[in-house]
Structure 1
């Protein structure tokens, strides 16, 4: 008699319960930490005002949270349409596509927000690697890691050709270079730094590793 399979199911359920509990606690802690600044931006966002909502970090994050039900509806609609057409892995493909767009576009929007001297201060470039990491601080480094994290997480799930960490690193670096170039050309009063490219690409690569369980199957 094979007894090896029976303990595995409860252990998997236990691990899932622990992971779900940790995720809920993490979301609750994050919501509690950002509740006050998000509520400060809520009146302007709900009134449809550009200034104070879409040109602020708090406003963009608030609108991302408000738009989550709509994003979930789009995932459901795409998956339903694909299942009706007989497409395999319809839910996974739909979730990956919406996740890439929903998690990346707002983050890029934040990086392209103009500073107080936009249009006046000439573009600045920092090409010495690792020099700007000291001035970024933990918050700056964390934010840069998240800019293309959704792209790195979902792209290998959706596209088998990108199911490789080096390719995701290259994709993250290329996208980051486009953003840094736009900051310089548009004179947004931001520093176009090579360290931003390095940290952005690292965030995409780490996110790809986090989703490896799913995109490895897609690649095979």
Structure 2
């Protein structure tokens, strides 16, 4: 892979996957640096770490997947963009890897965005954000003639993956900065006392 030049690192699925793994220590260092900087300015340590992890997690967990979806096919620029607007038509033809890949494209965004931005602490909002981002990606694939099919099924899977990831992080939403504190349960009086 090294002998093949930069194209093998940035222009293939395997190369992007390897780069993502290689850059994990860098992502961890960025989280540590951001958290330390925030703690030094007086932000509570827990919130500094949570916010830093969420920001880096959104970028680190989303960029490689979007990068892979924007890789040109073998006839890029030669063939016009193709569109599939019939829901579930392409889904039946996708292999398991494509389905899982589409579910993961915006999963990090769905998981971390509600932790970082209180305004996104809603599955419906995350679903809308991921669908909007996915429409932008599919539109870019079409406009840039990347020899890929811009499909409504990709949008549906991308949004569903983000919503599922948001549900997975939901238990931490209420403790995010800006969220109302959880109220303790009312204690019922004990009869006879």
Residue number in structure 2 paired with 1:118: 76
State the superposition RMSD in angstroms: 1.1
SS in 2 for 1:211: helix
- Alpha-carbon separation, structure 2, partners of 1:115 and 1:216: 43
Residue number in structure 2 paired with 1:35: none
Deviations 1:184-216 (A, max 9, x none): 000000000000000000000000011111123
Runs of 4+ in 1 over 3 A off after TM superposition: none
Deviations 1:67-125 (A, max 9, x none): 11110000000000000111230000000000000111111000000001100110000
Q: Report how many residues are paired.
A: 176
Q: TM-score, normalised by structure 2?
A: 0.89
Pairing 1:70-89 to 2, within 5 Å after superposition: 70-88=26-44, 89=47
- Alpha-carbon separation, structure 2, partners of 1:137 and 1:149: 19
- Alpha-carbon separation, structure 1, partners of 2:135 and 2:74: 23
Task: Tell me the CA shift for residue 135 of structure 1.
Answer: 1.1
- Alpha-carbon separation, structure 2, partners of 1:81 and 1:141: 39
- Alpha-carbon separation, structure 2, partners of 1:152 and 1:84: 29
* One of 195, 198, 202 as aligned partner of 2:156: 198
SS in 2 for 1:192: strand
- Alpha-carbon separation, structure 2, partners of 1:76 and 1:85: 14
Residue number in structure 2 paired with 1:217: 175
Query: Which structure 1 residue ranges, 5 or more long, are not aligned?
Result: 1-40
SS in 2 for 1:128: coil
Residue number in structure 2 paired with 1:12: none
Query: Which structure 2 residue ranges, 5 or more long, are not aligned?
Result: 181-193
Residue number in structure 2 paired with 1:97: 55
Greater helix proportion:
1
Task: Tell me the CA shift for residue 217 of structure 1.
Answer: 2.1
Q: TM-score, normalised by structure 1?
A: 0.78
Residue number in structure 2 paired with 1:149: 107
- Alpha-carbon separation, structure 2, partners of 1:213 and 1:58: 34
